[in-house]
Chains A and B, each alone.
Chain A
């Protein structure tokens, strides 16, 4: 940096200095004899480590029984083992200075943990116990079930949840990805045997990935991991079913009526792709230009020019089998139609006009820079490693990410926008007070109207 050119007048923007290279810390990637895949990376900024024990099975694999079963399994798995009660587990965690959480999404279940390196042995022992010897106490299950029911009732009053729920249902229909949350009734019918069954089938080393980043020597940590997990047995598990997806017709409007809303949540989407798709980076870059960054077109237009909304954003969401692209904004009730018009105007501009070199360059820099920032904390680095390993991306995926982004062209962006910003088939979800917004929504198509419980009312 010292040799960088410098500005001498306060009015001139200083140029960028030459970039310093990202030095990749050595990575240990092994598979133990029982099939447990392990990824370890050193990071010595603080005397701590962070870890994630994944199982490559989530809510999707048991969706035929009930939505959310994997998540409930993960929740109750932390509440008792053959050796420790729920209270002991929590107190042991505190004694080690550790945090631990467990949960499941559509594709994976995970036990996440972080703690002081002084206690790494003991914390690994506890995590191993939760992965192998959870006993699912009936009373803990009943308590968590009630908490979940109360949580679901509150979710049904949350505009963001209602918008996601409807959009996912529209995009994925009866596929497991089409349901993001169980109903109260389904939760009432959960049985503890179902949780135990999920645990038996999927919490096994052949189905697991352990990622750890922190202030340790990898070889020594590997030995600790062998001690904690080496005797665990169980091969791979079957993958999730992938039933047919609904055919998406032309653009359609879905209105979820939330009485008393003083704002309207918009969520517009299309099905898109997974991270393994060759188009993934093209889509990521196109998204970043469209609405994925503060400096993006969507934010400029409907926030900084028009003041319709506080936090408009678009995102490409990859899952294991499929993916989707969505645009979200919470807007003033009287500008629902105006905001939708601008959202589609910007989509159509992305699809019709090639992005200029300056804007392209800015967006490539943004993606590569934010990627580097994301490697600078233990949690961030662990997250990147987990993504790449879980989805079985090429070994050098992270190392080559930046150079691959820098090679993308304006034609790549145009191509991705035309394929995945499919305005003609875009599905439009609008959550708000029907009386205030229905006429505006109708300008984009006759709305199907739902109540907050998910029932169609028109």
Chain B
């Protein structure tokens, strides 16, 4: 349903346990933050915890924690979310808080300075001061993409973070945080009518705003393999990340690519790990996925990559490692996949999907995964009920469709490679 101001509301009741999870998702992610303001969507997410009209700095955190709940927010390519899990007797309080900050953000220069400092330490602890920090989620986009929206530093250049001011904050809020650009999700211990009543009570009076103009996130077609090298300042092993431009969501090719991805990156039985780590022992770690590692198959709404991330032994060169990897891909393109490999992949895919619905974000946020899917299907497709039917499309993929999509996607001119080269030799 949608309120007259355009806010969509999705309710998923389950009264088994006396806990509820609430999410508000805005249809804005770091992909389309303003030029010259790299990292702003994420910095702004921090600002949403700094105070709103009736709940000043720390009130959001204090009210949720003191009600026995936890809360957080996260910035993705195309969405930003704010969520709380609480004992269900605090549900109305949480809705009040979310409505208050959707209605009016109330922050000052001091808040902005403070969170700018906090974000810089976040970038340092996650990227600049960690082995393989940002590898490959910050390394691949500038190599793989030509459109600034897709290619820039999503965590933010420090100069850009420093340049951000309060006008930027309020303008961004006005442009992207209108109710019509958001979805409210209420999951867990509540009945539907009551949830609708609470949503109306707290959110209906928020004034509507204009819809933001859709940003241009299109990429020109890729015609050549793209390569880049990034220095690894701390870690001892060379890393290689390979990304293939992936199909658009919900297309027939997307379903097949998901199965292909699982065949390659499905843990220790996936072809890449099995061959490169377990059998040939060229790599010591191999992971990957569509929209990996900061997203999944469902939570993007524009160009993305199917990524493989390898850490390999220093006695193998990058070329040798890539050649061994290419062989795995070539076999798939030439021989395809047998039904007795694809069928187990479907079973595992289904099983993973269920686990994600129930939890998906650690033990303190029940139903985070369900919330995330519902939000993306609502904001991107206007169809939350896809959560009930989307599995069918994957279950119907045939071996020949997997082979076809492999032949189409896994070409040299469709890929980008980043080598993460250790600055020093491995420690003795």
CB within 8 Å of B: which residues of A?
Answer: 1-2, 4, 6-7, 10-23, 44-48, 86-87, 90-91, 93-99, 114-116, 143, 146-147, 150-151, 153-154, 156-159, 260-263, 293-295, 300, 303-311, 330-332, 361-363, 365-370, 372-380, 383, 452-453
- CB neighbours (8 Å) of B277 from chain A are 147
Binds A, one of B2-10, B111-119, B159-167, B212-220: B111-119
Min CB distance B89 to A, Å, is 4
- Offer 29 A-B interface pairs, CB within 8 angstroms, sorted by A: A4-B92, A10-B100, A12-B54, A13-B63, A13-B93, A16-B67, A20-B87, A22-B18, A46-B354, A46-B355, A46-B358, A115-B351, A116-B350, A153-B236, A153-B237, A262-B128, A263-B121, A263-B129, A294-B61, A307-B113, A307-B115, A332-B124, A372-B87, A373-B365, A376-B17, A377-B358, A377-B359, A379-B363, A453-B427
B150-176 interface with A by 8 A CB criterion? none
| Contact (A300, B58) CB under 8 Å given A157-B236, A372-B68 | yes
Q: Which of B261-269, B292-300, B388-396, B405-413 contacts A (4 or more CB under 8 A)?
A: B261-269
Binds A, one of B141-149, B244-252, B329-337, B340-348: B340-348
Once the chains bind, are B70 and A373 in contact (CB under 8 Å)? yes
Given contacts A11-B54, A115-B351, A146-B284, contact A1 B190 (CB under 8 A): yes
- Chain A residues, CB < 8 A from B357: 46
A123 to chain B, nearest CB (A): 11
State in angstroms the CA–CA spacing of A373 and B125 once bound together. Answer: 28
- CB contacts (< 8 Å) of A98 on chain B: these are 348, 351
CB atoms of B366 and A376 under 8 A apart? yes
- Let me know if B100 and A362 touch, CB within 8 A: no
| Neighbouring B residues of A99 by C-beta, 8 Å | 267
Whether A366 lies near B68 (C-beta < 8 A) is yes
In the complex, the answer to whether B427 meets A156 with C-beta atoms within 8 Å is yes
Residue of B17, B202, B285 ringed by the most chain A CB atoms within 10 A: B17
Q: How far is the CA of A309 from the CA of B119 in the complex (A)?
A: 8
Most chain A Cβ neighbours within 10 Å, of B14, B89, B113, B129: B129
Instruction: Establish whether residues A263 and B267, one from each chain, have CB atoms under 8 Å apart when the complex forms.
Output: no
Question: Which of A94, A115, A157, A307 meets B345, CB within 8 Å?
Answer: A94
Known: A95-B344, A373-B363. 12 other contacts (CB 8 A): A20-B18, A87-B278, A91-B344, A116-B350, A116-B354, A154-B235, A304-B57, A307-B113, A309-B121, A369-B90, A373-B86, A373-B366
Which A-chain residue is minimally distant from B63 (CB atoms)?
A13
Point out the residues of chain B lying under 8 angstroms from A46, CB to CB.
354-355, 357-358
Bound CA–CA A2/B190 (angstroms): 10
Check if B63 sits within 8 Å of A97, measured CB to CB.
no
Q: How far is the CA of A238 from the CA of B267 in the complex (A)?
A: 36
* Contact of B78 with A by CB under 8 A: no
- Write the B120-137 contact mask toward A (1 if CB under 8 angstroms, else 0): 111011001111100000
Task: State which of A44, A158, A365 has its C-beta within 8 Å of the C-beta of B67.
Answer: A365
The 4 closest A-B pairs by CB, nearest first: A369-B68, A307-B117, A97-B351, A380-B363
User: Which positions 217-235 of chain B face chain A at CB distance < 8 Å?
Assistant: 233-235
Instruction: Scan residues 55-103 of chain B and give those whose CB is less than 8 A from a CB of chain A.
Output: 55, 57-58, 61-71, 85-93, 96, 99-100, 103
Residue of B whose beta carbon sits closest to that of A432: B129
- For the complex, give the distance between the alpha carbons of A66 and B116 in Å: 45
The CA-CA distance from A156 to B86 in the complex, in Å, is 39
> Which residues of B does A touch, CB under 8 Å?
14, 16-19, 53-55, 57-58, 61-71, 85-93, 96, 99-100, 103, 113-122, 124-125, 128-132, 188-190, 194, 201-202, 205, 233-237, 266-269, 274, 277-278, 281, 284-285, 311, 313, 343-345, 347-348, 350-352, 354-355, 357-359, 363-366, 426-427
Q: What's the minimum C-beta distance from B84 to chain A, rounded to whole angstroms?
A: 10
Report the nearest A residue to B356, measured CB to CB.
A46
How many angstroms between the C-alpha atoms of A18 and B88 in the bound complex?
9
> Which of A156, A309, A369, A370 has its CB near the most chain B CB atoms (within 10 A)?
A369
User: What is the CA–CA distance of A46 and B358 in the complex, to the nearest angstrom?
Assistant: 7
Contact across chains for A150 and B313 when beta carbons are under 8 A apart: yes
> With contacts A14-B92, A304-B114, A374-B363 known, is A331 near B121, CB below 8 A?
yes
A48 to B121, CA, bound (A): 40
- Residues of B within 8 Å of A295, CB to CB, are 58, 61-62, 64-66
Question: A101–B354 Cα gap in the complex (Å)?
Answer: 19
Interface pair B236/A383, CB less than 8 Å apart: no
Say yes or no: B122 contacts A310, CB within 8 Å: yes
Contact A150 B237 (CB under 8 A): yes
Q: Are A263 and B363 in contact (CB under 8 A)?
A: no
Question: In whole angstroms, what is the CA distance A378 to B351 when docked?
Answer: 14
Contacts of B235 in A (CB 8 A): 154, 157
Point out the residues of chain B lying under 8 angstroms from A331, CB to CB: 121
B114 to chain A: which residues have CB within 8 Å? 304-307
Q: Chain B residues with Cβ under 8 A from A304's Cβ?
A: 57-58, 114, 118
Separation of A309 and B366 alpha carbons in the complex (Å): 28
CA distance A376 to B366 in the complex (A): 6
Q: A262-B128, A304-B57 are contacts. A366–B426 as well, Cβ < 8 Å?
A: no
Query: In the complex, what's the smallest C-beta–C-beta distance from B261 to chain A, in angstroms?
Result: 14
Residue of A nearest to B359 (CB): A377
- Please indicate the chain A residues that have their CB under 8 angstroms from the CB of B66 in the complex: 295, 361-363, 365-366
Tell me which residues across on chain A come within 8 A of B202, comparing CB atoms. Answer: 10
List of A residues within 8 angstroms of B71 by Cβ: 294
- Also in contact, A294 and B70, with CB within 8 A (given A310-B121, A331-B121, A377-B366): yes
CA distance A182 to B356 in the complex (A): 35
What CA separation (Å) do A292 and B345 show in the bound complex? 40
Establish whether residues A2 and B194, one from each chain, have CB atoms under 8 Å apart when the complex forms.
Answer: yes
CA distance A147 to B237 in the complex (A): 11
Partner of A157, one of B131, B190, B354, B358: B131
Tell me how far the C-beta of B278 lies from the nearest C-beta in chain A, rounded to whole angstroms. 7
Known: A377-B363, A379-B363. A309 touches B118 (CB 8 A): yes
- Taking the closest CB of chain A, its distance from the CB of B295, in whole angstroms, is 20
Q: Report whether A370 and B68 are in contact in the complex, using a CB–CB cutoff of 8 Å.
A: yes
Q: Are A262 and B129 touching (Cβ within 8 A)?
A: yes
A95-B344, A146-B281, A362-B65 known; A20+B355 contact, CB < 8 A: no
| Contact present for A380 and B364 (CB under 8 Å) | yes
Does A1 lie within 8 Å of B350, measured CB to CB? no
Q: Which of A157, A263, A377 lies in contact with B128, CB distance below 8 A?
A: A263
CB distance from A257 to the nearest CB of B (A): 13
Q: Closest Cβ of chain B: how far from A45's Cβ, in Å?
A: 5
* A46-B354, A309-B121 known; A97 vs B70 contact (CB < 8 Å): no
B345 touches A14 (CB 8 A): no
Residue of B nearest to A312 (CB): B121
Contacts of A378 in B (CB 8 A): 358-359
Checking B85, B91, B99, B427 against A373 with a beta-carbon cut-off of 8 angstroms, the contacting residue is B85
Beta-carbon nearest neighbor of B117 in chain A = A307
| Contact status A1-B103, CB under 8 Å | no
Flag if B269 contacts A376 (CB, 8 Å): no
Residues of A within 8 A of B350 (CB): 97, 116
Chain A residues near B57: list those with CB within 8 A.
304
Write out the residue numbers on chain A whose beta carbons fall within 8 Å of the beta carbon of B268: 90
